[in-house]
Amino acid sequence: MISVRVVGTIVGVAVLAGGVAFWISPEGRTALAPLVRMAKGDPSTQPTERTHDHGPPGVIKVTADQIAKARIEVAAVGDCQITQQVTAPGTVTPDADRIGRVAAKVVGTVAELRKRLGDSAVKGEVVAVLESREVADAKSEYLAARLANELQQDLTSRDKSLWERRAAPEQQYIKSRTAAAQAEMRFNIARQKLLALGMEADEIAALPKSPDGLLRNQNVRAPIDGQIVERRVDLGAPVGREGQESEIYVIADLSSLWVDLSVPTSELANVAVGQPVAVMARQAGLRADAKVIFVGPILQADTRSARGIAAMNNTSMAWRPGVFVTAQIAVAEQPVDLCVPRAALQTIEGEQNPDYALSSATEAWYKTGTYGLFLRV
């Protein structure tokens, strides 16, 4: 059993230093109302000798059944940090630093789509293949420049050997060396063009041995690790020209998310980068810790609030972009020796008295070891 003690007109949370605190749900207050009236001496509610033991004045023995009906909860009492919080609504969004767009860098048509929505992709993995005349021309130009460079370098080496043996004039060697430098420059330009179109160095090196039918193909690779969240084109769709789609996929790494916050103007002075944030989605039953990484210097015209961004870890993949949340930004903390949950301070007739509950409980029951329950009535 738990002793419930009434002091004057106060029946509240009994708090012990290093002890426990009890609190009651709103439904439980109705269940305990007869006990409160009994403790205050209401004759109509006094127990008989057959049903209750007599105890000290103002003390009631609460049974396990009454505790269950009143929904009394117990929590440890001790020192803690009292946090001043700013509450702001927000929306979960993808981390803008972890979004990659798979772009078509050439004009062509979609020949292959190797990923479906929801599939995972690894940075550098081929996710689509395009067919493009522009790519075929660039590869042909590279192969021609490569061959011309190799031949000119051989001719220059021969002319150099002849000039050193005095078998050819110096002027011939100088012309040959100039032609070799120009051939090498054209070769490097052709190679850089292929790199700019998205080809890898090993792909370029393998071009001389590739079948002619693959010259028009362009492999499109994933720019980041992540998940396919959007597909912008269909198989055979033209891409790259003005007025046509230039993105094939959108990839997002959802292991890290942002919370887009609307910070009230009145609280802007208290919110700063680096402050911890408790993010809650009550309907989904989710809670996570985040940190403020940005506070906008410009107010939004429609809401007259400032935009704030908090970064949140999502390695469990429990959170999804688009979820509406309530964020509590911790703007200040103060250590205290004794504290109780806010829910333990019962409000009846519109008042709370935490100072009374703390001082009375500590003074009255710390010595006796009796636990009490306070409610303001």
Of the options 2.40.50.100, 3.40.50.300, 2.40.30.10, 2.40.50.180, the CATH number for the domain spanning 99-251? 2.40.50.100
The chain-wide mean pLDDT, for the chain, equals: 78
How many residues appear in the chain? Answer: 377
**47 confidence band (pLDDT: 50, 70, 90):** low
Say yes or no: domain 85-95+254-335 is CATH 2.40.30.170.
yes
CA dist 331 and 87 (Å) reads 10
Region label for 317, one of left (φ > 0), alpha (ψ between -120 and 50) or beta (otherwise):
left
Residue 192 has pLDDT above 80, yes or no: yes
Residue 71 has pLDDT above 80, yes or no: no
Domain boundaries, the chain: 2-77+340-376, 85-95+254-335, 99-251
Those residues whose C-beta lies under 8 Å from the C-beta of residue 364, and which sit 6 or more positions away, are 5, 7, 372
Q: Which of 6-10, 213-217, 345-349 has the lowest mean pLDDT?
A: 6-10
Per-residue pLDDT reduced to its tens digit, 55-66? 555 555 667 777
Per-residue pLDDT reduced to its tens digit, 126-162? 999 999 999 999 999 999 999 999 999 999 999 888 8
Those residues whose C-beta lies under 8 Å from the C-beta of residue 194, and which sit 6 or more positions away, are 138, 139, 142, 204
Amino acid at 181: A
Tell me the whole-structure pTM to 2 decimals: 0.63
Please report the pLDDT score of residue 373 as a whole number.
41
> From the CB of residue 301, how many other CB atoms can be counted at a distance below 10 Å?
6
- Averaged pLDDT, 72-86: 74
- Averaged pLDDT, 90-107: 93
Please report the pLDDT score of residue 65 as a whole number.
79
Q: Helices 170-196 and 133-164 sit at what angle, rounded to 10 degrees?
A: 160
Secondary structure of residue 3 in the 3-state scheme? strand
Please report the pLDDT score of residue 302 as a whole number.
81
Selection from 230, 223, 216 nearest residue 115 by Cα: 230
Per-residue pLDDT reduced to its tens digit, 107-125? 999 999 999 999 999 999 9
